[in-house]
C-alpha cells in the first residue's frame, strides 16, 4: 500500500490554454524586441572611396567552370541512369527465361495453355 501523499509536493502545472496566435506572439515578440533595440547600433554612414585600386576577377573562367560542372553532373546522371536501366533489362530477360523454363516454352512461342484458351472474359 502506498502511504499518504506528502503535503510538500507541488501540484502539476496546468496546460497552457493559449491559442496558436498567442503562442506565436510569445515566440516572436522577444526576437523582434531584440532586433529593434540593436538597429541603431547597426546603422552606418556611407562614405565613398575615391581612386580605389581593387582587383577585379574576370567572370569568363568562372562561368565556364560552372557550365562545365553542370554538364559533367548531367552526363554522370545519364550514365548512372542508363547503367541502372541496363540492369533492369537484364533482370527482365532473366525473369522471362525463368517463366519460359517453368511453362515449357509456351510463353515464348505465343501459345496459350488450355485453361486460358477455353476461358473467355466476361462469360
Does 81 reside within a domain?
A: yes
Q: Which domain holds residue 90?
A: 76-102
Confidence of residue 8 (pLDDT cuts 50, 70, 90): low
Query: What is the pTM (predicted TM-score) of this model?
Result: 0.39
In a domain, 29, yes or no: no
114 assigned to some structural domain:
no
Is 31 part of any domain? no
Q: What distance in Å separates the CA atoms of residue 89 and residue 83, rounded to the nearest whole number?
A: 10
pLDDT digits (tens, 9 = 90+) for 57-83: 788 999 999 999 999 999 999 999 999
Q: What is the number of domains present in the chain?
A: 1
What is the tens place of the pLDDT at every residue in 9-62? 667 776 667 677 777 777 787 877 777 776 555 566 777 777 666 667 788 999
Amino acid at each position: 500500500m502506498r502511504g499518504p501523499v506528502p503535503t510538500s509536493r507541488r501540484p502539476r502545472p496546468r496546460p497552457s490554454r493559449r491559442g496558436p496566435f498567442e503562442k506565436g506572439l510569445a515566440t516572436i515578440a522577444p526576437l523582434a524586441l531584440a532586433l529593434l533595440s540593436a538597429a541603431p547600433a547597426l546603422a552606418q554612414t556611407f562614405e565613398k572611396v575615391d581612386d580605389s585600386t581593387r582587383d577585379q576577377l574576370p567572370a569568363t573562367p568562372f562561368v565556364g567552370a560552372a557550365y562545365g560542372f553542370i554538364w559533367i553532373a548531367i552526363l554522370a546522371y545519364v550514365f548512372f541512369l542508363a547503367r541502372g536501366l541496363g540492369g533492369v533489362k537484364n533482370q527482365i530477360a532473366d525473369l522471362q527465361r525463368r517463366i519460359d523454363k517453368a511453362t515449357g516454352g509456351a510463353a515464348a512461342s505465343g501459345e496459350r495453355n488450355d485453361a486460358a484458351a477455353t476461358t473467355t472474359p466476361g462469360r
